Amino acid sequence: MVALLRDAGFRVDETGSVGVSDLHYVLAMSPRAGESTTADDAMPATRSLPPLPKPRWIVPAIVVAAIAAHLLVPLAVAARVTLWVGVVLAVVVMAHVVARKR
């Protein structure tokens, strides 16, 4: 990248690691007025940023999602069971009413 930017006429001032995976950066500037555009062979300053910290929100988000799932599943099951119990009770009551009329 340094050679490419120098070939394009830029002055490379700084390079280094961003701190994420294998990502690097190059800081290049256009030449100042009156400055030579020829590529100089001086090594640019190298500065590496520290690795980014691991996000702290992932573990709480997983805990909240697990609790929500554990609350919603029994509610959904209870709703279906209640529906079927209601249907069975209605059938039993109707059968009892029909049997009493005879």
pLDDT, tens only, 54-64: 788 988 999 99
Same domain membership, residue 102 and residue 86: yes
What's the pLDDT band for 40 if we cut at 50, 70, 90? low
Alpha carbon 62 to chain centroid, angstroms: 13
Give the strand order in the sheet containing 11-17: 24-29, 11-17, 45-46
Task: Provide φ and ψ at 96, rounded to 5°.
Answer: -65, -40
Residue-wise pLDDT tens digits, 8-35: 888 888 888 887 778 888 888 888 777 7
* Among 23, 27, 1, 25, residue whose Cα is nearest residue 14: 27
Same domain membership, residue 79 and residue 42: no
* Domain limits for position 100: 54-102
Domain count, the chain: 2
